[in-house]
Amino acid sequence: MPLYDYFGRIPKIGDGSFIHDSAEIIGDVVIGNNCYIGCSVIIKGDYVTIRIGDRVIIEDKCVIHGNAGETVTIGNDVIIGHGCIIHSCTIKDGALIGMGAIVSDSAVVGENSIVGEGSVVTQRTVIPPRKIVVGTPAKIVRDVTDERLNALKKIREKYLDIYTKYGSLFRKL
């Protein structure tokens, strides 16, 4: 696993989590159980604390970092799409961050909210639970329906089923 000690700050990885060989996990990072960390992801807890819950999916080429002395918190059952930047913020349980989105300093993404692809959640923005936001800067466009929540749950379950098999299916050539 590509884990790096940073001045005695050592990453901790939960049971059943898959970390791709090309990912880099540095310093004060705790990743929960049954998570998937994709290709070329950088999670850098050098001078920031990073806490990631259980069953979190972080897809390829994401960067998670923050400002000195701050904490990045990612709740349980979160999906972070390809190429996102997550910086000094809080993402609550069940949220979905679309591909290429940015969530910036001191922002909070509420439970079961959705940040649209390519959107920018600017500093100190607070997105309430069960909202869909899009744009630059991200603005609320509608509520997350029960049907959408159920669909997201099925997507998470499908992804986690696929990703839990990665460790046994990958064979480096």
- pLDDT tens sequence for the chain (173 residues): 689 999 999 999 999 999 999 999 999 999 999 999 999 999 999 999 999 999 999 999 999 999 999 999 999 999 999 999 999 999 999 999 999 999 999 999 999 999 999 999 999 999 999 999 999 999 999 999 999 999 999 988 888 888 777 766 666 66
The pLDDT of residue 162 is 81
Structural domain boundaries enclosing 14: 3-169
DSSP track, 64-113 = EE--TT-EEEE-TT-EE-TT-EEES-EE-TT-EE-TT-EE-TT-EEPTT-
- For residue 64, give the CATH number of its domain: 2.160.10.10
143's CB contacts (< 8 A; 6+ apart) are: 130, 131, 132
Entry pTM: 0.95
d(CA 41, CA 137): 24
C-alpha–C-alpha distance, residues 57 and 73, integer Å: 14
pLDDT at residue 158, as a whole number: 87
Domain count, the chain: 1
Distance from C-alpha of 14 to C-alpha of 33, rounded to nearest angstrom: 4
